Amino acid sequence: MSGIFGTGYAAVYDALYGEKDYAGESGLIAHLFALHADGPVASVLDLGCGTGGHALPLAARGLRVTGVDRSPAMLARAREKSARLAETAIVAPEFIEADVRTLRLGRIYDAAIMMFAVLGYQHDDDALLATLASVRRHLPPSGLFLFDVWYGPAVLAQRPGDRVRSISQADERILRTARSALDIRAQICRVDFHVLRITGDRVVGEDRETHAMRFFFDRELGLAFGASGFRLEALRAFPDIGREPDETTWTVIGVARALP
């Protein structure tokens, strides 16, 4: 994961994903907690928290949230927004810089989440299993882990394409191009991002990053979670959690329960 979510990309990240419904997704997370948890969920570990897109609305719901990310630039943005939340008398999340594969906080949380395909950044099985082991050691028996990933049947059926996104804010325009290449055997989609910040007719900032995203299949997830001290209890279309995933479902959300 080195070399991604750097300073340049972090500076425009919230603008690029301004239309993402973090509040609505956090409501779905809370709903899944209510459906699957054995008791009240009061504390949440948000792994790969980025700029706090889910951590902040979950905190606004009264949950005690710890966000973890390995990008200092993304965490700086999260802390800025968190400081504004604290002014409303809501208990703001705590944000910690660390690698999710080796995290050892010495604390137990009622639940953990890993959203926006963060699990897909674990490209090989060793990284995947190390990450799941890290999640497990921060949960009690029966604690819940919610995650979303790119769903293999849909990725193969739909195939990723190239995209261009243009956003205007204040006196600046942000232009991002994304070019994708699929490695079917490795189950990896590589996305090359090129971001330009334009003021008037002048480029004032430029950044390039390549993100490699792993996509997953049902049995693969079941085996990985089973080997890591979890039982995979549900895999649903996301955000339409009332629907079973199929070849039209690019993203799925999973619910796993920590075993004794």
pLDDT in tens, 151-209: 999 999 999 999 999 999 889 999 999 999 999 999 999 999 999 999 999 999 999 99
Tell me what the mean pLDDT of segment 205-233 comes to: 98
* CATH number for 165: 2.20.130.10
Same domain, residue pair 25 and 100: yes
Q: Is 157 helix (H, G, I), strand (E, B) or coil?
A: helix
Same domain, residue pair 49 and 174: no
Same domain, residue pair 57 and 146: yes
Q: Has residue 197 been placed in a domain?
A: yes
Q: Has residue 1 been placed in a domain?
A: no
Same domain, residue pair 98 and 137: yes
Planar angle of CA 247, 252, 257, nearest 5 degrees: 135
Q: Which residue has the tokens 């906080």?
A: 105
pLDDT (tens digit per residue) in 42-55: 999 999 999 999 99
Q: Has residue 2 been placed in a domain?
A: no
Q: Has residue 12 been placed in a domain?
A: yes
pLDDT (tens digit per residue) in 111-145: 999 999 999 999 999 999 999 999 999 999 999 99
pTM: 0.97
Please give the share of the chain, as a percent, with pLDDT higher than 70.
Answer: 99
Number of domains in the chain: 2
Residues 6+ apart with CB under 8 A from 53: 17, 20, 22, 115, 116
Report whether pLDDT(2) > 80. no
Domain that holds residue 194: 156-213
On average, the pLDDT of the chain sits at 96
Q: What is the pLDDT, as a whole number, of residue 1?
A: 42
